Structure 1
Amino acid sequence: MRPDVHRWLRRRTYTATAWTAVDLAEARRSQGTTVSVVLPALDEEPTVGAIVRAIREALVHDTPLVDEVVVVDSGSSDRTAAVAAAAGATVVDTASVLPAHGRVPGKGEALWKGLHATGGDLVVFVDADLVGFDPQFVVGLLGPLLTDPAIGYVKALYDRPLTTAEGIVPSGGGRVTELLARPLLNAWWPQLAGFVQPLSGEYAGRRELLEQVPFVSGYGVEFGLLVDLAGRAGVDALAQVDLGTRRHSHQSDAALGRMAGQILQTALARRPAPGPPDPELLQFLRTADGVEAVSWDVSVTERPPMGSVRAGGRSRS
């Protein structure tokens, strides 16, 4: 493992249980900091209401940590907007935010317009399809931001149980991460190899930093934000927090292929100057103490065309 990644992992990896909502609410009050939570949503009627309700009950009413909860609806065909509003969220449609800029499809568009539609100094983004949502997710993501002014952006890491025909596998999921995003980061941005879940949909940042980088309209948004924010603020301004277990619906392989295509386009648009890719691949295992990094050498050797080998052999004979 690269020494800089090893240092970053030890310095900038946290556990959500390190903070309580009460302690962070006091820190927020003393700093005069405001907090917004944004949920991008498209046809999430079964889950969005419970998430909004949990945040408002635990972190607005019981403990004043969050100032506003905004659901950004990307033109849902179900009752997502109505359910979210009934649960207490402010609901905005992507078409109504910055109308002069038009409307393009994709999750990143909802996040970008959610940034505009909110006013918090700190902005927390949470996917609207989570099952069994825990408000401690929000607490954990806010912890580093409210206790360390040097940190500007925080990503979640977690286990993702994968539902299969044989039942629920306790770890797994994140197929696009393991097959595409992690190899890309390790190859071209190895300084970011320590992020366990680079595509996680739960993250938080300081508005002043988030407003300095572009938002990719589609599923490449998380990859783009990670690379761009590291380039803007430096890797040490980024952190990750272990949230434990995250459950959500799983998409088909075809849908994941389309997601991977958008992430690949995002990465290619940001690819650094030409040069050989880094040969190390860092993967992660869950252990009793958290997560453990495992390093692999994925370098390859390219043999010459056999015709040239045989031609060379004949010439020497």
Structure 2
Amino acid sequence: MLDEVGQWLRSRSWNAADRPLDLLLAAKRRSATTVSVVLPALDEEATVGEIVSVIRRELAAGAAPLVDELVVVDSGSTDRTAEVAAAAGAKVVHRDELLPRLPALPGKGEVLWRSLLATSGDIVCFVDADLRDFSADFVSGIVGPLLTEPRLQFVKAMYDRPLWDSPAGGGRVTELVARPLLNLHWPLLAGMVQPLGGEYAVRRELLERLPFPVGYGVELALLIDALDLVGLDALAQVDVGVRRHRHQDGQALGRMATAIYATAQRRLPGTAPGGPATAPAAAGGLPLTQFERDQAGAFVPRDHLLRTEERPPMCTVPEYRPGWAA
């Protein structure tokens, strides 16, 4: 197993600089492949405009752009996210406008799932909307291998994640939860540097066959399920440098870790469909108790219900066809 992972690391890990833009544009023309970029956004007015501007200026300009479609899917922002994104040149779609017969559930995975209805590209590239000091490499780096390597289906970005005075101290849930789970139960994925990262590009024909957890578990689920469907050789990763973004507090990370563990638990080898993670969801969510001090200084429990439902593969949705929202 270690030999197989080592071979994969040597043959399926690259740097964004390995594929310059002119090479990617030539490969895109030869294959007649179209590319959609999706930014899921919730209250990201401070960062979404710059991300959209960089992508439009560096990757979506000219007669033969790398990016054909740039869509911001707003999941209920209370700030100016939608206005800022539209002013920067993105197509903005509200989550609730997509598949309106089905009430939307809160969560990032819900937005990613519905975004398949709002896009038409053969390749769909997801980028988180809270990134700072954004580089176009986050898009071109991970789209590139799909344009130049026909066997590839799914490419993740890898990067350093600075936290305070540590150049790579971010990714706490990755190191404490996701990496141990993958090494123990899906060791073929042990070579993934950023398995929970929000920047990845996938061929639509694969994405539409995958179920989407509605919440924090979506990135882990897509990776595990893609491995099952297309195998390790169809997965790859690209180093895009440094990822700077808004970090969450410890309790928020605890909720994220719980949802990720529940997602993994449902996929453990030998677990029947509708396994242990589904029962709590039927009652409204997966319960998690956390503690806060009250004004008197006493610890007070606070209960959370985490959504762990999963949306079915989009190809099974009767209304689905790429670009439906257009």
TM-score normalised to the size of structure 2?
0.81
Q: How does 1:65-104 map to 2 (within 5 A)?
A: 65-104=66-105
The answer to whether residue 30 in structure 2 is matched with residue 30 in structure 1 is yes
- The amino acid that maps onto 2:176 is L
Q: What RMSD over aligned residues (CA atoms) do the two structures have, in Å? A: 1.1
Give the Cα–Cα distance (whole angstroms) in 2 for the partners of residues 129 and 141 of structure 1: 18
Unaligned runs of 5+ in 2: 272-326
Once the two structures are superposed, the pairs formed by residues 184-263 of structure 1 within 5 Å of their partners are 184-263=181-260
- The gaps in structure 1 that reach 5 residues or longer are 275-317
Query: Given residue 27 of structure 1, which amino acid in structure 2 is its aligned partner?
Result: A
Q: Distance in 2 between matches of 1:111 and 1:222?
A: 10
Q: Deviations over 1:232-285 (max 9, x none)?
A: 0001100011111110010000000011111011001101127xxxxxxxxxxx
| 2-structure distance, mates of 1:71, 1:202 | 14
Give 1:5's aligned residue. 5
What letter is aligned with 2:131?
L
Shift of 1:17: 0.7
* Paired residue total: 270
SS for the counterpart of 1:156 is strand
| Local SS of the residue matching 2:197 | coil
Q: Could you report, residue by residue, the CA deviation over 1:47-82 in whole angstroms, capped at 9, with x for unpaired residues? A: 000000000010011561000100010000100000
Corresponding position of 1:52: 52
Deviates further, 239-248 or 18-27: 18-27
Give the superposition deviation at 1:20: 1.6
Pairs within 5 Å for 1:103-142: 103-142=104-143
Distance 2:6 2:112 in 1: 31
What is the distance in 2 between the residues matched to 1:146 and 1:55? Answer: 18
Identity %: 61
The equivalent residue for 2:159 is 158
CA distance in 2, matches of 1:213, 1:192: 17
> Separation in 2 of the partners of 1:205 and 1:261?
26
Residue deviations 1:78-117 (CA, integer Å, cap 9, x gap)? 0000000000000011111011222000000111111221
Secondary structure of the 2:182 match is helix
**Aligned letter for 1:23?**
L
1:272 is aligned to 2:269: yes
Task: Report the Cα offset of residue 22 of structure 1.
Answer: 2.1
Distance between the aligned counterparts of 1:11 and 1:138, measured in 2?
21
The aligned counterpart of 1:179 is 176
CA distance in 1, matches of 2:8, 2:102: 38
Aligned-pair CA distance for 1:170: 1.5
Q: Could you tell me which amino acid in structure 1 is paired with residue 3 of structure 2?
A: P
1:169 Cα deviation after fit:
2.1
CA distance in 2, matches of 1:203, 1:215: 15
Distance in 1, matches of 2:166 and 2:45, equals 25
Aligned AA (2:27): A
Return the alpha-carbon distance in structure 2 between the equivalents of residues 126 and 110 of structure 1.
12
Q: Which amino acid aligns with 1:184?
A: L
2: CA distance, partners of 1:110 / 1:265: 19
Shift in Å at residue 137 of structure 1? 1.4
> What amino acid sits opposite 1:36 in the alignment?
S
User: Structure 1: how far apart are the matches of 2:117 and 2:182?
Assistant: 29
Inter-partner Cα distance in structure 2 for 1:270 and 1:28: 35
TM-score, normalised via structure 1 length: 0.84
